[in-house]
Amino acid sequence: MSAEPARYACGAPVRIRDLDKPGHVRTPFYVRNKTGVIEQVCGDFENPEERAYGRVGGARIPLYRVRFLQRDLWEDYAGPPQDTLVIEIYSHWLQPASGTGDVP
């Protein structure tokens, strides 16, 4: 199947959606509702949430590498303020960031 076009460019601020999806998902809870920055567009791949249940051959969707400031993820983070965490997240978990504070 054809791929969905990439919606976000490198440097774009995004917020991770807090989807209530049952079962096997690849998006950690600690990044949901958090804001990060697109670091890289990794390419288009089948949705791993569908593949985990044997549903193969679906539409290919963009995978992004998103960078977060550690202090934005962990309330009690005591490390250097510039420390970051990078996670690969599929497009259906992303939304444009609006009215957000710091982004890495």
Q: What is the pTM of this model?
A: 0.84
Q: Which two tokens stand for residue 23?
A: 């079962």
- Domains (range + CATH), the chain: 13-96 (2.30.30.50)
pLDDT digits (tens, 9 = 90+) for 10-46: 999 999 999 887 766 789 999 999 999 999 999 999 8
Residues 77-100 as b/e (b if ≥16 CB within 10 A, e otherwise) read eeeeeeeebebebbbebbeebeee
Q: Minimum mean pLDDT among 22-26, 40-44, 70-74, 100-104: which range? A: 100-104
Of 11 and 57, the structure prediction assigns the larger pLDDT to 11
**Euclidean distance between CA atoms 42 and 22, whole angstroms:** 25
Q: Minimum mean pLDDT among 10-14, 49-53, 68-72: which range? A: 49-53
Whole-number average pLDDT of the chain? 87
Phi and psi (nearest 5°) for 29?
Answer: -60, -35
Q: Give residue 101's pLDDT.
A: 46
- Span 43-59, average pLDDT: 82
Q: Give residue 81's pLDDT.
A: 95
